[in-house]
Structure 1
């Protein structure tokens, strides 16, 4: 009942309550992002959603205009505190996860959930095993089991295993635990960036 009905209801209610906060964040950070290089405030990225549907995931832009696409060896997106593509304000909003706040709009649209597996790039669908495609049976989340407990410290394939573990144990209590653990993780600011030589993905 929770997975099929109440989870979506809670997503809508929570995201509506967060809308005033989102507007305040836009007012504060929007000008800082724009005047860093006179570029757009938002970055819209194609991501895999539930049932393999591709959608536009909204983020505050943390990288410089026309930044090159850099990937890790496994095809995942590169993430490092010393990434030269980050603007000065971009490094801050990435480290504090402020860049993810616009995804509240994705939740309202029904593309995402507050809690769920983080969405992968569309091309990753081709390298999923049949078992790994179970990740697409639920809406992706703004935060999830991996983000709460590991952030950027484990390889992509291991994260998929954790995503499936989350789906198999999905419950209201699980989501509450993930939200509180995520808050603690953000406040501690640990494991947001990985050193270049470790080559873990975001």
Structure 2
């Protein structure tokens, strides 16, 4: 959906609502976040935060705005004898598993919502290196701000193939309304409570998106 055709909610109300909700949530959840910061520093033996550049909404220049996504770390920095990071499943400790199952690792992203780089609901921000691997249709997922949770996350999470995820992301872009966001919000609560779709069928996290041809093999 072209941004110019988006309704008042998508263009104005969604951002104001996200700011107010994220600010309120940060105030209410501040004791929990302080506790998780201290626990994370202990469990991860250092910095409890994971910060990584991610692509955001496409700007007036036709390019995605890159921002720093912040989460609580769920994996250690353990390396092999050659200095290479160990596979995800070996660096994901018990504490990290709990954070992922409860989605508590996502809480710091409320700061991203507060600053406007993210929305509460929208396509999940993926890796910058994926930008050149999208088809033109898949790249349309960046016509709106990325979100803490999205339509794809509420309909299968990491159990979905990359192609299906992108299909659902674009569907969301074309059907973005207040009612849609409310449905995604409550559906996400159910997904979190049932702890479904946390891992893909072949990985403890999600396989890298290598491009449409390679991922379809």
How high is the TM-score relative to the length of structure 2? Answer: 0.82
Partner of 1:113: 119
Query: Which moved further from structure 2: 163-172 or 153-162?
Result: 153-162
CA contact under 8 A between 1:22 and 1:102: conserved in structure 2?
Answer: no
Say whether residues 1:26 and 2:26 are aligned partners. no
C-alpha distance in structure 1 between counterparts of 2:168 and 2:91, whole Å: 29
CA contact under 8 A between 1:39 and 1:65: conserved in structure 2?
Answer: no
Aligned residues: 191
SS, match of residue 90 in structure 2: coil
C-alpha distance in structure 2 between counterparts of 1:26 and 1:18, whole Å: 11
Question: How has the CA–CA distance of structure 1 residues 12 and 194 changed in structure 2, closer, same or farther, with 3 Å as cutoff?
Answer: same
Question: How has the CA–CA distance of structure 1 residues 48 and 197 changed in structure 2, closer, same or farther, with 3 Å as cutoff?
Answer: closer
* 1:56-112 residue CA offsets vs partner (Å, 9 max, x unmatched): 100001110256285xxxxxxx7xxxx111122111001111001100000011100
Say whether residues 1:188 and 2:200 are aligned partners. no
CA drift at 1:196:
2.9
Question: How has the CA–CA distance of structure 1 residues 69 and 113 changed in structure 2, closer, same or farther, with 3 Å as cutoff?
Answer: farther
Aligned pair partner of 2:76 in 53, 64, 71: 64
Runs of 5+ consecutive residues of structure 1 not aligned to the other structure: 71-77
C-alpha distance in structure 2 between counterparts of 1:164 and 1:114, whole Å: 17
Partner of 2:132: 126
CA contact under 8 A between 1:59 and 1:103: conserved in structure 2?
Answer: yes
CA drift at 1:200:
4.4
How high is the TM-score relative to the length of structure 1? Answer: 0.88
Mapping of residues 6-155 of structure 1, within 5 Å: 6-51=13-58, 52-65=64-77, 68=85, 83-155=89-161
SS, match of residue 145 in structure 1: coil
* 1:141-197 residue CA offsets vs partner (Å, 9 max, x unmatched): 000001111111111122111100001000000000000000011011122123436
Question: How has the CA–CA distance of structure 1 residues 199 and 42 changed in structure 2, closer, same or farther, with 3 Å as cutoff?
Answer: closer
Runs of 5+ consecutive residues of structure 2 not aligned to the other structure: 1-7, 59-63, 80-84, 209-217
CA contact under 8 A between 1:155 and 1:200: conserved in structure 2?
Answer: no
Question: How has the CA–CA distance of structure 1 residues 132 and 37 changed in structure 2, closer, same or farther, with 3 Å as cutoff?
Answer: closer
Q: CA RMSD in A?
A: 1.9
